[in-house]
Structure 1
Amino acid sequence: MSAQAFWDVAAPLIAVTEKHPFLVAMVDGSLDMDSFQYYVVQDALYLHDFAYALRRLGDNDGISRQDSERLHAFAKGAEEAELSLHNSFFKEWNISDDGVEQMPHSLLYTSYMKQVVATRPHAEGLAVLLPCFWVYMHVGQCMLKLRQELGDSVQRPPQFDAWIDMYGGEDFEHEVKDYIAMNNKACQSADAETLKNMEKHFLTCCKLEHMFWDQAQEQMQWPVIA
């Protein structure tokens, strides 16, 4: 069994996610900039926790030095490559994520992710982080294809194109394929129960990925306490 089996189970949901109105509107230029700014701030907060989770996996007992170093490199990549994009947007907009709280779906996603990484076997921790890599690469490539189909007739803010270029690009694809390979190796030595749990975590986080874009489209807020 390989990680492809997890993807196959989640494929119907992913087919819907790749056409999410938030993502399509980013490509056709109709997305409201306030919604995009909301999304970027929440995604930056998410990435801090994502990098933490990768480092925690890299510090697990019993894994090879090579895997440990690669997981720490993934964490560094999330902070230096992905967050540098977000921070460049913040500079352009003269805003910051300092003091901003995670909104409901952001907190749900990161709490689930960190709970699995902290309390479950290493292989399950690998699987719970996999959708953030794989789904983002997939939707980035779908958006890149749609942008090519629309051609020069569509004008969009440069920040939208920068996002599409990063997640639809070859550098990110290389990182994702490396992380998939790490999951494939874990699958080979996992027992049936662990494989079942890996699949469950993968599917749950594919749902949470979709909900993250729902949240941005709606600019969801916590209930106000009078």
Structure 2
Amino acid sequence: MKRSRANLLYAISAAGLLGLSLPASADFSGYYGVPGSWTLTNSCASPSECGTGSYTSGAPASVTVIGSDVIGAGAGVPFSSLTSFTIIAGGAGLVHFDWSYETLDVGDPLSTPPVPSAFFDTAGYLLNGSTVQVTDLSGAASQSGSFDFSVAAGDVFGFYVETIDNLGGAAMITISNFRAPLPPPPPPGLPEPYSIALLALGLVGVAASRKRRTV
């Protein structure tokens, strides 16, 4: 009985190691290296004429997400499209980034003369499919700032540019000074966390089995 109880306590302690605070990546390298596990997606209101957004890598220092502008390339009627660049969060914690936005769009067509602005092209970050705009619709064609938000391990997050009309010139957002939580490293001299979890579950099973035999 004493051995079974000791095994059970050890299993609980081993499982508790999974809750260690996680370090953060300092740039687009390692777990968050580009291209790595990042995914570029173009989603459109008109699937038959989907946008052609892209990205360019200045990794490890920066990444630039470029929105679609297919009308300017000879497509049909205006439609919206979203260009996103996402990854699965390696751990729980804070994501920090500096951003620099620029658009070639002519802006509000009702202004005389038209002044380039962010009116028809927004940008920001995504978290589990929801967009959070960081640009100012009534702002200038060039904008910048910093932002922080929290993620849980397994969340899908990233950055996006959305165009309302796909014409007038593309917009882009450059992400730099990027930091995000990393997966937990294995404790010195111990297996990595997945193995620890399996070990913990196995020891609990052994303890329960021995208890049944001693009753």
* TM tier relative to shorter chain: under 0.3
Structure-2-length-normalised TM-score: 0.24
TM-score, normalised to structure 1, is: 0.23
Structure with the largest fraction of strand: 2
Q: Which has the higher helix share?
A: 1
